[in-house]
């Protein structure tokens, strides 16, 4: 199958090979190396001239968890009334928010919470006209069946993303991908920053800075998609507002890109400044 503007990139094609294995043997439990492969999945959103690497919500959640992020109850979105999301933009943004919350709860073995977010994702996908992807390969049924198996749920989420991306590409709706990733990134950064406020973990601090480098790619991808949907320009403004706050932090200004060993270590005060802007944008998203 040929994909127009976007291709899925995975290390060593391991994900495709493991998918074929599961179909043939009926197993839902991936091997360790196959779980790693799903975490390394990225989407390359291409314009006519430039490609932008965008992370999956599962990948970001996995990176934060490996950096010491502990589960903290009550920091994911509690907004369950999706009827307030009336535009394509708000629906796609919050599909991203719920996707991030879904990944976070799955990787922290919060099965009932994960099931709730899976249902919300399905409802928003239905409202966007792409709900049929949840029925491909019995993804929804398999998710509910494997609620007690974290590895299986992570694999199913990765497969769902792959199927969704392919569907959007085939139906010339690539802009939804960029919008969803923007919502997922903001929610993931919100969760990560709130966890840092409690733990003050240095490695988690470093990961917050690393994830900021992804924001540039998300903004560029969104800008490339404004020609498809003019409403995306408001989302670009929101994401650039986060960029602006980060760029003005003293630790960021002092960073020397030419020093291969240099790292950006934000002070606690700088994390608070960044978190405040992320929370502001995040609240704007979930409140419709």
- Domain extents for the chain? 6-286
Q: State both tokens at 27.
A: 């197993």
240: its two tokens: 């650039």
Q: Rounded to the nearest 10 degrees, how much is the dihedral formed by the CA atoms of 272, 287, 102, 203?
A: -10
pLDDT tens for 263-276 read: 788 898 999 999 99
**Cβ atoms of residues 246 and 219 within 8 Å:** no
Q: Distance between CA atoms of 202 and 127, rounded to whole angstroms?
A: 41
Q: Which helix (H) or strand (E) holds 44?
A: strand 42-46
Give the 3-state secondary structure percentages of the chain, helix then strand then coil, rounded to 5: 70, 5, 25
- The 3-state DSSP class for residue 8 equals strand
1-32: per-residue pLDDT in tens?
A: 333 444 433 332 233 323 332 333 334 444 43
Q: Which of 29-33, 124-128, 162-166 has the highest mean pLDDT?
A: 124-128
Which residue in 162, 192, 198 sits closest to 63, CA to CA? 192
Residue 37 has pLDDT above 90, yes or no: no
Residue 212 sits at the vertex; the CA angle it makes with 208 and 218, to the nearest 5 degrees, is 135
**Of 22 and 211, the one with more pLDDT:** 211
Give this prediction's pTM.
0.81
Q: How far apart are CA 4 and CA 96, in angstroms?
A: 23
């Amino acid at each position: 199958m040929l994909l127009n503007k976007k291709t899925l990139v995975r290390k060593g094609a391991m994900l495709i090979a493991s998918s074929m294995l599961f179909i043939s043997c009926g197993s839902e439990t991936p091997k360790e190396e196959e779980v790693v492969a799903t975490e390394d999945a990225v989407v390359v959103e291409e314009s006519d001239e430039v490609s932008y690497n965008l992370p999956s919500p599962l990948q970001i959640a996995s990176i934060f968890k490996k950096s010491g992020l502990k589960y903290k109850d009550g920091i994911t979105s509690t907004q369950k009334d999706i009827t307030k999301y009336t535009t394509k933009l708000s629906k796609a943004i919050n599909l991203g928010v719920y996707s991030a919350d879904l990944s976070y709860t799955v990787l922290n073995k919060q099965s009932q919470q994960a099931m709730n977010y899976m249902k919300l994702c399905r409802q928003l996908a239905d409202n966007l006209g792409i709900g049929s992807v949840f029925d491909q390969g019995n993804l929804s049924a398999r998710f509910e069946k494997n609620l007690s198996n974290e590895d299986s749920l992570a694999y199913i989420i990765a497969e769902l993303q792959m199927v969704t991306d392919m569907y959007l590409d085939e139906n010339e709706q690539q802009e939804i991908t960029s919008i969803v990733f923007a919502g997922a990134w903001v929610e993931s950064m919100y969760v990560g920053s709130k966890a840092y406020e409690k733990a003050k973990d240095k490695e988690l601090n470093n990961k917050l800075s690393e994830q900021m480098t992804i924001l540039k790619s998300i903004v560029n991808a969104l800008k490339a998609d404004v020609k498809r949907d003019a409403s995306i320009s408001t989302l670009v403004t929101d994401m650039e507002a986060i960029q602006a706050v980060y760029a003005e932090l003293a630790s960021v200004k002092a960073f020397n890109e030419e020093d291969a060993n240099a790292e950006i270590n934000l002070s606690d005060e700088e994390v608070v400044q960044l978190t405040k802007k992320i929370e502001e944008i995040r609240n704007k998203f979930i409140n419709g």
